[in-house]
């Protein structure tokens, strides 16, 4: 390894990058864009669900129940259908996602200490939100029910002094206000680091091959090892700059605090970068054109996004798929980044992830470098 030769190569790469300002701009705008989309727009929480109310009872009690639905913040009553047929039509047309039907006799049942029944019709085509909507509605109905029960017990007070019950207090850790940004920011950070280093490295090398300048580099005294280091160093730099960008934006704009050590975060990011650089290098050995490099990157990227736990919890996946996710390096890095960001985890807790990443990194980068050297020779 000759440091001077490597530095020359790095300088050449930086000059080339400067000549393509549009590309650079996109590289830096993309994390910001993603952070804003994930920070503001993307939420699986359901609020303001379009609701139809068919109140056939028209009593004080039925209005109270409807009122509670609105007050919960989850339901907006947007339609007041005249009959069951109109309820059907409104669900069919997608005008509403939920219909609450309060039948005649609701107040009478309550007054007579009978169980009053109401019906909730949910458009189940979106099974994800449907389950949540049904859950919220159950909560509202449960509260109403509890209120009525308390009132009844109040009347029994003369006879009963004490009635046993269980009450539950919830404490939320790590993210007490349950803000999804806090969970998303560490994810976006890992994704960007992964993508930038893998994609740009593979494209940078393939570009030389496509244009034919790779041969010129090979006949110079530069060794393959130096070539790899020189070609990848600038992109490690870019990766770190975008990481800093995301960190700054999340701290100062989204006000996401980092519970753990920033130094540890950067140190472990270096361990992770080995694997994504290795993948980039590997892709460059199997691609002849930039389009092919792009397509191949896509194949690595898609499973990584879906199976790493970035958007969908791994615990929800079937057992077999959970085993498959063990092969995805991003998975381990996500645990590390989220642990440091949200829980303030230190090395004592994170070392298993670090160990796995280290093994992956050395293996992937080593194999890719071997293959790359062979292809040159």
Partner 1 sequence: MWLRTGVIAWKEFVQIGRDWRTLAVVVVLPVLMLVLYGYAINFDLRHIALGVQDEDRSPASRQLVDAFSRGENFAVAETVASPAAATRALDAGEVRAVLVIPRGYAADLAAGRTATVQMLVDGADSTSATTTIGYAGAIVREHSGAITLAALRRRGLLARDGFPPLEMRTRFWYNPEQRSVNYIVPGLIAVILMMLSTLLTALTVVRERERGTIEQLIVSPLRSYELILGKLVPYAMIAFVDVLLVMGAGRMLFGVRVVGSIPLLLALSVLYLVSALGIGLLISVISPTQQTAMTVGMLASQLPTMLLSGFLFPVRAMPELVQWLTNLIPARHFLVIVRGIFLKDNGLAQLWPQVLLLAGIAALTLGLASRKFRKKL
Residues numbered 264-283 forming contacts with partner 1, rule: CB under 8 A: none
Give the shortest CB-343-to-partner 1 separation in angstroms.
6
Based on CB atoms, which residue is closest to partner 1, 10 or 294? Answer: 294
Cα–Cα distance measured from residue 18 to residue 32, given in angstroms and rounded to the nearest whole number: 20
Based on CB atoms, which residue is closest to partner 1, 15 or 112? Answer: 112
Q: What angle do CA 122, 128, 129 make, to 5 degrees?
A: 50
Cα–Cα distance measured from residue 377 to residue 373, given in angstroms and rounded to the nearest whole number: 6
Based on CB atoms, which residue is closest to partner 1, 6 or 304? Answer: 304
The CB density around residue 153, as the number of other CB atoms within 10 Å, is 12
**Span 318-337, contacts to partner 1 by CB under 8 A:** 318, 321, 335
Q: Does 44 bind partner 1 (CB under 8 A)?
A: yes
Among 166, 212, 219, 263, binds partner 1 (CB under 8 A): 166
Structure tokens at 10: 């790095």
Dihedral of CA 201/202/205/207: which sign? negative
Q: Does 155 bind partner 1 (CB under 8 A)?
A: no
Q: Does 68 bind partner 1 (CB under 8 A)?
A: no
Cα–Cα distance measured from residue 119 to residue 248, given in angstroms and rounded to the nearest whole number: 49
Based on CB atoms, which residue is closest to partner 1, 5 or 63? Answer: 63
Q: Which residues have C-beta within 8 Å of that of residue 331, sequence separation ≥ 6?
A: 307, 308, 309, 314, 325
Structure tokens at 226: 């130096």
Report the b/e string of 217-237 with b at 16+ CB within 10 A: beeeebebebbbbbbbbbbbe
Q: Which residues have C-beta within 8 Å of that of residue 373, sequence separation ≥ 6?
A: 224, 225
Axis crossing angle, helix 224-252 with helix 21-36, rounded to the nearest 10 = 40
Q: Which stretch binds partner 1 (CB under 8 A): 1-9, 10-18, 156-164, 222-230?
A: 156-164
Cα–Cα distance measured from residue 245 to residue 251, given in angstroms and rounded to the nearest whole number: 10
Using CB under 8 A as the criterion, what x/- string covers residues 208-247 for binding partner 1? ----------------------------------------
Q: Does 85 bind partner 1 (CB under 8 A)?
A: no
Using CB under 8 A as the criterion, what x/- string covers residues 123-152 for binding partner 1? xxxxxxxxxx-xxxxxx-xx-xxx-xx--x
**Span 109-128, contacts to partner 1 by CB under 8 A:** 110, 112-128
Based on CB atoms, which residue is closest to partner 1, 142 or 366? Answer: 142
Give the shortest CB-181-to-partner 1 separation in angstroms.
9
Among 154, 171, 212, 377, binds partner 1 (CB under 8 A): 171
Cα–Cα distance measured from residue 226 to residue 43, given in angstroms and rounded to the nearest whole number: 45
Based on CB atoms, which residue is closest to partner 1, 22 or 221? Answer: 22
Structure tokens at 304: 């990584």
Give the shortest CB-302-to-partner 1 separation in angstroms.
7
Based on CB atoms, which residue is closest to partner 1, 124 or 366? Answer: 124
Among 2, 7, 43, 326, binds partner 1 (CB under 8 A): 43
- Strand pairing partners for 8? none
């Amino acid at each position: 390894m000759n440091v001077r030769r490597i530095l020359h190569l790095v300088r050449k790469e930086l000059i080339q990058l400067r000549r393509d300002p549009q590309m650079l701009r996109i590289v830096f705008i993309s994390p910001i864009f993603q952070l804003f989309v994930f920070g503001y727009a993307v939420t699986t929480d359901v609020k303001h669900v379009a609701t139809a109310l068919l109140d056939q009872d028209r009593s004080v009690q039925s209005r109270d129940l409807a009122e509670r639905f609105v007050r919960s913040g989850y339901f907006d009553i947007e339609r007041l259908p005249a009959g069951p047929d109109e309820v059907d039509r409104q669900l069919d047309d997608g005008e509403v996602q939920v219909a609450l039907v309060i039948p005649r006799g609701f107040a009478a049942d309550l007054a007579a200490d009978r169980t009053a029944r109401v019906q909730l019709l949910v458009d189940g085509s979106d099974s994800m939100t449907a389950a949540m909507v049904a859950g919220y509605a159950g909560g509202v109905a449960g509260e109403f029910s509890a209120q009525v029960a308390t009132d009844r017990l109040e009347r029994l007070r003369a006879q009963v002094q004490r009635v046993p019950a269980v009450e539950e207090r919830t404490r939320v850790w790590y993210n007490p206000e349950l803000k999804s940004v806090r969970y998303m920011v560490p994810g976006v950070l890992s994704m960007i680091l992964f993508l930038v280093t893998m994609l740009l490295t593979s494209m940078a090398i393939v570009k030389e091959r496509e244009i034919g300048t790779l041969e010129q580099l090979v006949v110079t005294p530069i060794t393959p090892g130096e070539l790899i280091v020189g070609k990848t160093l600038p992109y490690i730099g870019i990766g770190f700059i975008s990481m800093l960008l995301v960190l700054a934006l999340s701290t100062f704009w989204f006000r996401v605090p980092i519970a753990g050590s920033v130094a540890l975060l950067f140190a472990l990011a270096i361990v992770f970068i080995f694997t994504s650089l290795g993948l980039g290098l590997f892709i460059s050995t199997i691609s002849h054109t930039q389009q092919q490099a792009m397509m191949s990157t896509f194949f690595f990227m898609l499973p990584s996004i879906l199976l790493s736990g970035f958007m969908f919890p791994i615990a929800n996946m079937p057992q077999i798929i959970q085993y498959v996710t063990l092969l995805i390096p991003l998975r381990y890095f996500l645990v590390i980044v989220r642990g440091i960001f949200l829980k303030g985890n230190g090395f004592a807790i994170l070392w298993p992830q670090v160990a796995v990443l280290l093994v992956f990194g050395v293996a992937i980068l080593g194999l890719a470098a071997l293959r790359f050297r062979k292809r040159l020779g």
